[in-house]
Structure formats: structure tokens, C-alpha cells
């Protein structure tokens, strides 16, 4: 399936292979029936049978207790922090190695994120550094008033479960609620329990690039029914139960539409399959590339099961003969293959440069060395082969030179 593309600048015709995306939506086929149902019954609204059924499916699949589906994972995090009472100048401990959406809602509320480094086994927030950060907040060494953080936000990055038992114990020891950002980890488990269910509140995302998608959406989950109910209430403009519109609190318009939820129902039918496909991608890359010096893949620690949302690898230039992850990324791009550096840690982001930080250089090093490979569940073996050939070419060119 080669496309020919005219290149007017050079006056020649170049052959261009089809684009391989980092992570693109993958419909299962059943989604349209649920969406059609919504049209046929005129439930084209941010409520309806698909919304309820999608919530039930999430609860059944993950054993999370209760679920409220919303219009994004970011909205779910925002509501989680509101319900935990986070306000102006409060501290919220947050994993630094993550996507900005984990941290932004802390700032929506005027609170101060205290960013914390990762440990090298799972790349997620380091429990020891969390304890140091809590002590720092209690001692007032961050330049602000001494006080207990209002919440801890941990992340299961790229689908890899964080050290969730240790984090939960810490949270309990200090009496700080834990919010588990499992936006990337639907279908991952830790000690046999689903990611998203370890904190007081968990969140999922169904954005277009996630393991399943509703084109845009998220969920707030909790064993505590009060949180799910209150999230639904706040997400529908905090409208009180009156015949007229009565408001005693500030509300939000965060509910998921019945159309999106129809897509979500169809996607839940294929979630297990999607996890298996993404894990296959990872193993395929690993088998083909691990033999190269300086190329590393991350193991699942005992008891962890990652959905391998994104296939990731580390490239150590001191061992590859100087090849960096950027060399590989740029070369793949020239072959119409999308790959991406790891998330840039939040404490290194200009927008958060004045926020406190606890830890060392683990996250920074991961950012320097890490590359996310094309990871969609819709990739064919020939696509994976193309990626591998592209990477080998760069690794072997340097070795032979």
C-alpha cells in the first residue's frame, strides 16, 4: 500500500509509506450499535441508558465499587481534588514524571503541587521520596506554611502499576487521601487488583490515544459511593433536587454524553483484547531489540501486570556507540513513523518551575533516555517489523561506523 507523493520542490516523485501512529483509536465494531440506539431513542444528551450501562461495565470489569463517567480524565481529577477539600495554598503531592493533566487541576484550585521523583523499578512516584516530601511540608521547608498535604496523586505511567501498597500505607500512616491517576492503566493489575482501585479515588481516561476511547472522556471511580454520587452532582452544575434550578454550590459541566458512552460500551467489549494486543507489541519489540547494547526494556515487578499502553524503551548512548533516543526518533519520523520522547517531568516544565520538588534525578534521566514506540492495538505485524527495521538501521549504522 504505497502512496506516491509529488514533491514540487525537488520536481520528483517520492514513495511514501503509510503513517504509523504512536497510538490511534481502534474501534471494535460494536460501538455503532450502541450509538445508533442513542439516536433511535433520542438520548442525545449528557445522560441516558448508555451512560448508566457504561458505568456498570467499568464497575464490573475493574471491581472499583462505583463509577461516574465524565467528559475527560482531567475533569475527573479536578472533581477528585475538589471533593477532598483541596483549596488555595494547600499542598498536593504529585508524581513529577507524568502528563501535565495530572498536575493542572491542582493549580485550577490554587493549590501548590509538590512534585516528587520516580523510583527506577516502575518509573512511578518513589514512596521514600513521598515521605520526605510530606515531612518537608510538615516542617514548612517549602517556603510556605507548615502543613499536612491535602492529597497524594500517584500515576500508573504507561500502564505500569506504581508501588501501590507502599503508597497506600504511607497515605494511611499520615492520614492523607490517595488519588490514583490510572488514566493510562485501564486493564493493568497489581497483586491481582485493578489499577484505579487503590486510592480513595481513582480516575481513568478515554481520550483518543488511550487503550480504549470514547473519542474523549474519563471516569471517577471509588469504593466510596458518596464520591461517585457527589461527582455526578458537581458534574451537572451542582443542581439541587428541586423542580426549579436551585444551586447551593458552584458546579461544573463535566458529564459524559450518552453518545460517547455508547462508544465506551462497545470499547469495553474489546478491552481484554486490546490489552493483549498492546502487550504483544511490547514483547515483539523487546524480542527484536533487547540484544542491542544500550537498549533496555522495563520488566513487570512481581505481582504487577501492565497493560503496556505504550511500548517504551531506554536508549543509553554510552552503550549504543553514541546513538541517542533523538537519533532514533528523527530517523523514524523521516520514514513516516511517529515515536515520542517520554513525558517531560513536571518540575522541569517552565510553568511549574517555582513549585517545590522532592527527590533526585531519576525522572530527569528517564526523560533524557526514553522513547515511546508506536503502540496501537491496531498495528499489524508488518507495521511492527517496519518500526524495528527503522530502529535497527540507526543502531547498526553507528556500530559499523
Ligand X SMILES: *Cc1c(COP(=O)(O)O)cnc(C)c1O
| Residues in contact with ligand X by the rule CB under 6 A | 72-74, 98-99, 101-102, 155, 181, 183-184, 205, 207, 218
Nearer to ligand X, 73 or 149 (CB): 73
Q: What's the min distance (Å) between Cβ of 212 and ligand X? A: 12
Nearer to ligand X, 252 or 284 (CB): 252
All 3 cell numbers of residue 257?
454524553
Q: What's the min distance (Å) between Cβ of 208 and ligand X? A: 9
User: How many degrees, rounded to 5, is the angle at CA 351 between CA 347 and CA 354?
Assistant: 60
H/E stretch holding 179 reads: strand 178-181
CA pair distance 370, 373, nearest whole angstrom = 10
Q: What's the min distance (Å) between Cβ of 4 and ligand X? A: 36
Q: What's the min distance (Å) between Cβ of 80 and ligand X? A: 11
User: Of 71, 44, 53, 42, which Cα lies nearest the Cα of 234?
Assistant: 71
Query: How buried is 334 (Cβ within 10 angstroms: 0-12 exposed, 13-18 middle, 19+ buried)?
Result: exposed
Distances (CA, A) of 86 to 67, 169, 187, 211, 297: 21, 21, 29, 30, 37
Q: What's the min distance (Å) between Cβ of 51 and ligand X? A: 16
CA pair distance 305, 245, nearest whole angstrom = 47
CA pair distance 107, 355, nearest whole angstrom = 11
Q: What's the min distance (Å) between Cβ of 371 and ligand X? A: 17
Nearer to ligand X, 142 or 311 (CB): 311
Q: What's the min distance (Å) between Cβ of 290 and ligand X? A: 26
Nearer to ligand X, 102 or 197 (CB): 102
Distances (CA, A) of 209 to 158, 323, 376: 12, 28, 8
Nearer to ligand X, 263 or 395 (CB): 263
Distances (CA, A) of 42 to 48, 102, 255, 277, 300: 9, 35, 17, 35, 46
Nearer to ligand X, 72 or 257 (CB): 72
Nearer to ligand X, 142 or 260 (CB): 260
User: Of 331, 320, 321, 329, which Cα lies nearest the Cα of 295?
Assistant: 320
Nearer to ligand X, 75 or 133 (CB): 75
- Residue with the CB atom nearest ligand X in the bound state: 73
Distances (CA, A) of 41 to 45, 48, 148, 180: 11, 10, 50, 36
Total Cβ atoms within 10 A of residue 167? 23
Q: What's the min distance (Å) between Cβ of 184 and ligand X? A: 5
Nearer to ligand X, 282 or 292 (CB): 282
CA pair distance 246, 114, nearest whole angstrom = 37
Q: What's the min distance (Å) between Cβ of 334 and ligand X? A: 27
All 3 cell numbers of residue 379?
498495528
Amino acid at each position: 500500500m504505497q502512496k506516491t507523493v509529488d514533491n514540487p520542490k525537488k520536481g520528483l516523485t517520492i514513495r511514501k509509506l503509510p503513517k504509523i501512529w504512536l497510538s490511534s483509536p481502534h474501534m471494535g465494531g460494536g460501538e455503532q450499535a450502541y450509538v445508533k440506539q442513542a439516536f433511535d431513542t433520542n438520548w442525545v444528551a449528557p445522560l441516558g441508558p448508555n451512560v448508566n450501562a457504561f458505568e456498570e461495565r467499568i464497575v464490573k470489569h475493574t471491581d472499583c465499587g462505583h463509577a461516574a463517567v465524565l467528559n475527560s480524565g482531567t475533569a475527573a481529577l479536578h472533581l477528585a481534588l475538589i471533593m477532598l477539600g483541596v483549596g488555595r495554598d494547600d499542598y498536593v503531592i504529585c508524581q513529577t514524571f507524568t502528563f501535565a493533566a495530572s498536575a493542572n487541576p491542582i493549580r485550577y484550585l490554587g493549590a501548590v503541587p509538590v512534585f516528587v521523583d520516580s523510583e527506577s523499578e516502575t518509573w512511578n512516584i518513589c514512596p521514600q521520596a513521598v515521605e520526605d516530601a510530606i515531612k518537608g511540608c510538615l516542617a514548612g521547608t517549602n517556603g510556605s506554611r507548615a502543613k499536612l498535604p491535602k492529597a497524594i496523586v500517584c500515576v500508573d505511567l504507561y500502564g505500569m502499576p506504581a508501588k501501590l501498597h507502599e503508597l497506600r500505607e504511607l497515605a494511611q500512616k499520615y492520614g492523607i487521601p490517595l488519588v490514583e491517576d490510572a488514566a493510562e492503566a485501564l486493564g493493568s493489575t497489581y497483586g491481582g487488583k485493578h489499577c484505579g482501585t487503590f486510592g480513595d479515588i481513582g480516575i481513568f481516561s478515554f481520550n483518543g490515544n488511550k487503550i480504549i476511547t470514547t473519542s474523549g472522556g474519563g471516569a471517577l471511580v471509588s469504593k466510596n459511593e458518596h464520591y461517585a454520587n457527589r461527582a455526578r452532582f458537581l458534574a451537572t452544575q451542582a443542581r439541587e433536587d428541586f423542580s426549579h434550578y436551585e444551586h447551593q454550590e458552584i458546579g461544573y459541566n463535566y458529564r459524559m454524553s450518552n453518545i460517547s458512552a455508547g462508544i465506551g460500551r462497545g470499547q469495553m467489549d474489546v478491552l481484554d483484547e486490546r490489552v493483549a494486543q498492546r502487550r504483544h507489541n511490547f514483547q515483539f519489540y523487546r524480542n527484536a531489540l533487547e540484544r542491542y547494547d544500550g537498549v533496555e526494556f522495563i520488566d513487570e515487578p512481581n505481582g504487577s501486570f501492565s497493560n503496556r499502553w505504550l511500548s517504551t524503551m531506554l536508549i543509553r548512548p554510552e552503550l549504543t556507540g553514541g546513538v541517542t533516543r533523538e537519533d532514533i526518533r528523527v530517523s523514524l519520523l523521516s520514514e513516516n513513523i511517529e515515536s515520542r520522547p517520554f513525558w517531560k517531568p513536571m518540575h522541569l516544565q517552565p510553568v511549574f518551575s517555582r513549585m517545590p520538588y522532592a527527590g533526585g534525578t531519576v525522572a530527569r534521566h528517564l526523560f533524557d533516555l526514553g522513547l515511546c514506540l508506536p503502540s496501537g492495538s491496531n498495528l499489524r505485524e508488518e507495521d511492527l517489523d517496519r518500526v524495528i527495521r527503522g530502529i535497527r538501521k540507526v543502531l547498526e549504522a553507528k556500530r559499523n561506523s
